[in-house]
Structure formats: C-alpha cells, structure tokens
Amino acid sequence: MIEATELKKNYGDKRAVDGVSFTIRPGVVTGFLGPNGSGKSTTMRLILGLDSPTSGDVRVNGKHYAEHAAPLHEVGALLEARSVHTGRSAYNHLLALAQTHGIPRRRVDEMVDLVGLHEVARKRAGQFSLGMGQRLGIAAALLGDPATVVLDEPVNGLDPEGVHWIRNLLKQLAAEGRTVFVSSHLMSEMSLTADHLIVIGRGRLIADLSVDEFVRKASGNRVLVRTPEATRLRDLVLGPQVSVASSEAGILQIEGLTAAQVGEIAAANHVVLHELTPQQASLEEAFMELTRDDVEYRSLGSSADPKELAA
C-alpha cells in the first residue's frame, strides 16, 4: 500500500511534482503513466525516501520509507537511473545489500538464478548490457521478499523475451497479494500489464482509474456510420457537443454521441443505416490526447515556422 497526500517537490524554481495524491492498493498491478519529464521518477524517489518532499506526505505500508526497521522486506525498488557500482560484481552488489538486513547468501543465489544472471554474476556490473543491468536491479528489488514493489521503467532495454518475463513477474507479484507500482511512458505496455492506472503530466495528477475505464473513456463517443442518407443524418445529429467528419461519401465519423444514441436518432427519423460501429481509439492515441497539454518536451511539428527552426 502506498499513500501519497498533496505531494509536492521543487528543484530550485522548477516544480517537479505538484500536489499529487493517490493510493496504490495491494493485489493489483498499478501502472504509473506519464510523458518523459512528467514527474514519475521524482514521485518514486519521494516514495522511497531518496528525496524529501517540499510539502505533503507519502507513506509505504503505513510508514515513511525511512521509518521502516527493515525497508528491504517492506519495499523492493528498481530505479530508472543506474544504481550499481560499476566496479563490483553483481553477486557482491546483491550480497552487500543483503547483509544490511542479515539476509542469507542462499537468497542472493536464488535471486541471481531467478533473473537469469547466473553466468555473469561474478562479472563486474560495469560490463553489463542495459538489459542485464535491469535484471540485476530486479534481483535487488526482490531480495528482501518485499510486500510492495516499486519499479521505474522496468522494461527499458529488455529484449522481447525479457519484456514478456517482466509482465508475468509483475502479474505474479500482484497475484501473491503484493502492491505493485510500475512506471512507464508507454501506454501499450501498461495496457498489457496493469490493472489500474495513475496518469501524471507536468507533475500533476491527470487520471486515477482502472485500465478498463481508461479504455472505455479512450474509445469515447466516436461512432462510424455507413448510410445512403449521410447528409440528412449529419444535419440531424449535429449539435454543440457533436462533430461530424466524413472521409468518403456515405461514411460519417460522429464524435460526441454513443452508437446507441446515433441509432435512436436514425430510427426516429427513418434513416437507413448500413453500419453503426463504436470506434476504438488506440490506447496510445487516448494517452496522447489525455496528456497533450502536459508534454514537457515536444518535437517541433511540421507547422513550426521554418524561420524559427533556422534560428
């Protein structure tokens, strides 16, 4: 369980996290979604006591992170930034962490095997690929058999097999009743693993909802209609909340009404319909729609003034 209340963090003049409140529950995978620079990593650092909040409060399993007598048994964390000494072997890295809690060596071996680093455990971590580094980070996170797991962009740098493995791992952790909080900037990834979503942009909470809800909202009220009486139907449905577009003759894209509403209007006015299909916006589209105003770094679009680009 992670509870954040009005969490704020400033770095100098820059506000990284701006009054975020949420509760992350055990037993499900909660995705933490937001564009790059939206404050995900900062929020996680605040949860883990690495940074202290400017104001507000965050507790893990009922206490501030630093108040736990055995934090590795409470919370396992994988940070986005590298957090391993490059000159030390993976085995010794895990051993040093284990020793702070009196965790036996056998556990270190178990974790090395679990993440598939057996062959390279005695190699210096500086020689690891990004994917191997991620696996080592996950081994460290699970070392203390923690009740809560916080992972920042865990699929970064993993090959497809590794990504698949992480998804199963996260689901398994949640199924065992743990709290699982995973950040990503990729909606598609979250839709495959998460049950619940927390969305932030520019340090503010944008949404806190289940993935199903998100998908439903994302598909919104967009309906594709095929009808020989396109012009008539368009005039019938148009209103202040409704817009209609047409890509080819006889096909309408109606936004702002559900399929049921469109069908009823058509029936009441005896308009013949050949097709009436609710449209699924892709999750990526929905996510971009949701965070459109909150993207920190935007690529220069084609509409940008060429003179500005040259400057």
Partner 1 sequence: MSSATATVSIPRLNERGRVTQARVALSEWTKFVSLRSTRWSLGVGVFLTIAFPILFAAVTATHWAHMSAQDRADRHPLDIALAGVNVAQLAIAVLGVLMITGEYSTGMIRSTFLAVPRRLPVLWAKVGVYAVVSFLLMVPSVLIGFFASQSILNGKHILQISFGASGVARSEFGGAIYVMLVGIFALAIGAILRNTAGGIATFAGIFFVIPPLMNILPTSWNNAISKYLPSEAGRQLFSLHRDAHSLSPLWGGLLFVGYCVVAIAIAAVLLVRRDA
Residues that bind partner 1 (CB under 8 A): 45, 48-52, 65-66, 68-73, 75, 77, 79, 81-89, 92-93, 95-97, 99-104, 107, 110, 114, 140, 142, 144-145, 165, 168-169, 171-173, 176
How far is the C-alpha of 224 from the C-alpha of 215, rounded, in Å?
18
What interhelical angle do 160-175 and 130-142 show, nearest 10? 10
Cα angle 88-92-96, degrees, rounded to a multiple of 5: 110
Q: Closest approach of Cβ 230 to partner 1, in Å?
A: 36
Q: Which is nearer to partner 1, 173 or 206 (CB)?
A: 173
Tokens of 309: 């680009």
How far is residue 244 CA from its own chain's centroid?
A: 32
Q: Closest approach of Cβ 116 to partner 1, in Å?
A: 11
Q: Closest approach of Cβ 171 to partner 1, in Å?
A: 7
Q: Which is nearer to partner 1, 31 or 76 (CB)?
A: 76
Q: Closest approach of Cβ 84 to partner 1, in Å?
A: 6
How far is residue 90 CA from its own chain's centroid?
A: 28
The DSSP H or E segment spanning 226 is strand 222-226
Give me the sign of the Cα torsion angle 172, 164, 120, 74: negative
Give me the count of residues in the chain.
311
Q: Give the chain's radius of gyration (CA, Å).
A: 24
Q: Which is nearer to partner 1, 94 or 233 (CB)?
A: 94
Q: Which is nearer to partner 1, 83 or 243 (CB)?
A: 83
Q: Closest approach of Cβ 222 to partner 1, in Å?
A: 25
Q: Closest approach of Cβ 199 to partner 1, in Å?
A: 25
Q: Which is nearer to partner 1, 113 or 264 (CB)?
A: 113
Q: Residue 142's beta-bridge partner residues?
A: none
Q: Which is nearer to partner 1, 181 or 199 (CB)?
A: 181
Q: Which is nearer to partner 1, 160 or 301 (CB)?
A: 160
How far is the C-alpha of 45 from the C-alpha of 39, rounded, in Å?
10
Q: What is the DSSP string of 46-88?
A: HHTTSS--SEEEEEETTB-GGG-SSHHHHEEEE-SS--S-TTS
Q: Closest approach of Cβ 39 to partner 1, in Å?
A: 15
